[in-house]
Amino acid sequence: MRRLLVPVALVVMAACGGGGGSAPPAGPSSNGLSAPTSFRVVLQKVNFTSNEVQVSWSGTGSAYHVFASSTPGGADKLSIDVTGTSYNWIAPREEAVYYMRVVATSGGNFSSPSTELPIFTIDLRNAIDALFFGAGPMADSPSLANFNPTAAVWPDGTVVQIRVSVEAGDAARSIAQTFSDDYAAVTGGAIRATVQVVADNMHAAQFADLPEFSIGMRVLQVCPQVGVIACANLGPAPIGPNRSFVNLNQPTGAVAVEHELGHSYGLNHVHVNSSSRPELNFLMNPVLLATGLSEPEKNAIIAARNGGMHPGMRRNEALAAGLVLPFTGQTSIHRQR
């Protein structure tokens, strides 16, 4: 049993520059340029091949120089001149912490640097590993990768029947509808669902009582973990019985409905330090009560499907297809503790 972007357009005007380089002097310049202020990350996107980090700032300089480095104060990843007060950095697709800052420039003079920001990047292949195989650095049990686990995925063309008990309530039904619609959109309609309220409270129901490719949502305190408000089993075969129960320990457990439906659809937990950016608040993070599939999770599902993800796929197949990485025995450096 398992428990529990709004795109922002930025004008990027690169005058010159490129990859890593040397940093400018850190002290004040002779012409009194003011350091940029309000340096912030506007949006972060995790794609299959890169991380996009959009930053902006305020300042009175005629131009600026943006730096990114693997160490504070460095410039080994990015050193570029820009005009305007925003920049979109296409960062590597790797799990790392980078440091970004900006200085104002004029006639070869530099201001003091802005506040330096840590940037947490993710390799989406690790997210795919955790979501579909429950393995790798971002998973509950990273070393499961050594046992070549199998993915639980509904077959394309499946129409899942989600049956919500009256006791679970209309709030649970509405949330279930939102999740199923989101998942259908991500899969291009290949995996859809119907959601209906049923009179049966399903307290005595067993898996055999559910039709194939159905999910029963009920209020029933049967979750084995201490202190959880809801739980669900992985539904799709061969891991699950092609059926699932979402068990809410109490009617207020509806706040975890989308997370538990993720399990019912075959998704495992994924760990990431959500405090770094709101875009990284993964629905399948076990320590959050996030709502809705995050953009990285959607991108992971899309990338996995494009890479050949199918019911019963083994992790070694996914590794050969480039969907996951060789397991090194390490846990995620971003793992939330």
**Residue 5 is assigned to a structural domain of this protein:** no
Q: Does residue 136 form part of some domain?
A: yes
**DSSP assignment letter at 280:** G
Number of domains in the chain: 2
43 bridge partner residues: 54
Percent residues over pLDDT 90 in the chain? 75
28 found inside a domain: yes
Q: Determine contact, residues 7/279, Cβ cutoff 8 Å.
A: no
Condensed to tens digits (0 to 9), the pLDDT of residues 291-310 reads 899 999 999 999 999 999 99
pLDDT at 154: 98
Residue 144, domain CATH: 3.40.390
pTM: 0.88
**Structural contact between residues 42 and 8, judged by C-beta atoms closer than 8 angstroms:** yes
Do both 145 and 200 map to the same domain? yes
**Is residue 15's pLDDT more than 60?**
no
What pLDDT score was predicted for residue 11?
26
DSSP helix/strand/coil, 113: coil
Looking at 77, 102, 121, which one is the last position of a domain?
121
One domain, residues 223 and 101: no
Of 121, 150, 178, the residue that ends a domain is: 121
Higher-pLDDT residue of 3, 111? 111
Identify the domain containing residue 47 by its residue range. 10-121
Average pLDDT for 147-155: 98
DSSP 2-42: EE---------EEEEEES--PPPPSS--TT-PPPPEEEEEE
Whether residue 1 is predicted with pLDDT greater than 60 in this model: the reply is: no
Look at residue 232 and tell me if it is in a domain: yes
Least confident of 21-25, 54-58, 79-83, 101-105: 21-25
pLDDT at 10: 26
In a domain, 98, yes or no: yes
Same domain? 106 vs 142? no
pLDDT for 336 beyond 70: no
pLDDT for position 195: 98
Confidence tier at 60 by pLDDT (50, 70, 90): confident
Q: Clarify whether residues 129 and 117 are in a common domain.
A: no
Higher pLDDT, 10 or 211: 211
* Residue 334: inside a domain: no
Q: What is the pLDDT of residue 19?
A: 52
Give residue 290's pLDDT band: very low, low, confident or very high (50, 70, 90).
confident
> Average of pLDDT values for 312-324?
98
DSSP string, 34-68: PPPEEEEEEEEEE-SS-EEEEEEEE---SEEEEEE
Per-residue pLDDT of 154-199, as tens digits, reads 999 999 999 999 999 999 999 999 999 999 999 999 999 999 999 9
Q: What is the CATH number of the domain that holds 81?
A: 2.60.40.10
Residue 1 maps to a domain: no
pLDDT digits (tens, 9 = 90+) for 233-288: 999 999 999 999 999 987 667 789 999 999 999 999 999 876 668 888 999 998 87
Residues 61 and 20 occupy one common structural domain: yes
pLDDT (average), residues 86-91? 97
